[in-house]
Structure 1
Amino acid sequence: MIAIIDYGVGNLKSVYKAFYNLDDTVKITSKEKDIYDSKALILPGVGAFKDAMDRLKTSGLVGSLKENMSKGKPTLGICLGMQLLYEKSYEDGEWEGLGVLQGEIVALNTSLKVPHMGWNRLKKWKEDPLGEGIGDEEYVYFVHSYCLQPKNKEEILFCAEYGVDIPAVVRKENIVGMQFHPEKSGKTGLRLLKNFWEMIK
């Protein structure tokens, strides 16, 4: 079973539909037992970092999520869910994240319009099975005003250029993050989700 974590923040239905086409065991859940019983975790998210972390803490799931990730369970953070995987965010203050990946979430420093909203092209930075079948002319859908400043740039698989290079897909062993919405990114997004699913298998 693939567990999509429901903590009151996230585009759950579209994420569910995208994964259901790959694996009909996918389940939207807020139960700790499902986290332990699952073969993979999906952490979606939209909105503000602090609000999302507050809701995640209130859900009582932080401990079980971090434990399962640390034991090697495949995990995918989507959009704000990716940002929550990191140590800290400076969105309207200074807030601690889950800290399972090293880096900080900072304001998007570009001369272009913020938020970064719409379709943008992926640029491959590193070969990885997660990027199988994805070329340098593939477009995905972004909506964000803050971006990752990673400690370990070797974890970046794809970037998007928007005045600056924005880390778009990251991976450290079993933990994957996508700054954009793969579930809204057509065939390219679905291919990335399929590649993640292959990683689970």
Structure 2
Amino acid sequence: MSQCVGVVDYGSAGNTFSIVRALELAGTQPRVIKTPNELVNVDKLVLPGVGSFTDGMAELNTSGMTGAVREWAADGRPLLGICLGMQILCDVGFEYGETQGLGLIRGEVRAMQCKGVVPHMGFNRVAVQGDSPLFRGLGSDESLYFMHTFEVQNYTNIIALTEYAGHQFVSAVQRDNVFGVQFHPEKSREAGIRIFQNYLSL
């Protein structure tokens, strides 16, 4: 039986279409999830996102998905956050004020402090740290696509780092069954599809 992958759609802060298309290319038929009752029979969850931390959490709170995602992770089921989706996995964000996140990854989300132009946009190398199943079959110095102004400041759950304009930031995290990537796999060509395939094979 094929698995069902849910893609959380949280309104204006989401970018579900491109994620759905990439997951289809990776070999699965994803289901768009807007409310907690749609999580029935879903095996894995993807939390995409673009825009601000504040807007993203507001959308999740309004739909009731905040508690549902926390319960999902607590049950030990796989969860992958992408870009803003990775950021809101953290404890707190400081974009347009202080906003509480999902609290699934220990970390804070703050504006990038670097000498380069922000947003950090385009392909950049991802230096894999350790042996995470998410990067299986990829090089330790793979180039993936980024587009972000804020970064996750986290020093305990790091599985990848990236350097931009002399500044090193966290580009992927993992805490047990919860994964987060700052880059966009859906815009990262073959390497991004491989990451989705790795996630599907967990």
Q: TM-score w.r.t. structure 2 length?
A: 0.93
Contact 1:77–1:85 (CA<8 Å) still a contact in 2?
yes
Paired with 1:158 and 1:23, the residues of 2 have a C-alpha distance of: 25
Give the superposition deviation at 1:24.
3.5
Give the superposition deviation at 1:26.
1.1
> How many pairs are equivalent?
197
Alignment of 1:4 onto 2:7: yes
Paired with 2:28 and 2:128, the residues of 1 have a C-alpha distance of: 30
Give the superposition deviation at 1:56.
0.9
Partner amino acid for 2:158?
I
Partner amino acid for 1:46?
V
Which residue of 164, 173, 176 maps to 2:176? 173
Paired with 1:137 and 1:76, the residues of 2 have a C-alpha distance of: 21
Aligned CA-pair RMSD: 1.2
SS in 1 for 2:145: strand
- Note the residue ranges of structure 2 that are not aligned, 5 or more in a row: none
SS in 1 for 2:90: coil
Show the counterpart of 2:39. 35
Give the superposition deviation at 1:33.
2.2
Paired with 1:111 and 1:77, the residues of 2 have a C-alpha distance of: 27
Contact 1:36–1:68 (CA<8 Å) still a contact in 2?
no
Show the counterpart of 1:95. 99
SS in 1 for 2:201: helix
Q: TM-score w.r.t. structure 1 length?
A: 0.93
SS in 2 for 1:18: helix
Give the superposition deviation at 1:136.
3.2
Contact 1:140–1:185 (CA<8 Å) still a contact in 2?
yes
Contact 2:128–2:141 (CA<8 Å) still a contact in 1?
no
SS in 2 for 1:102: strand
Paired with 1:113 and 1:21, the residues of 2 have a C-alpha distance of: 33
Alignment of 1:51 onto 2:55: yes
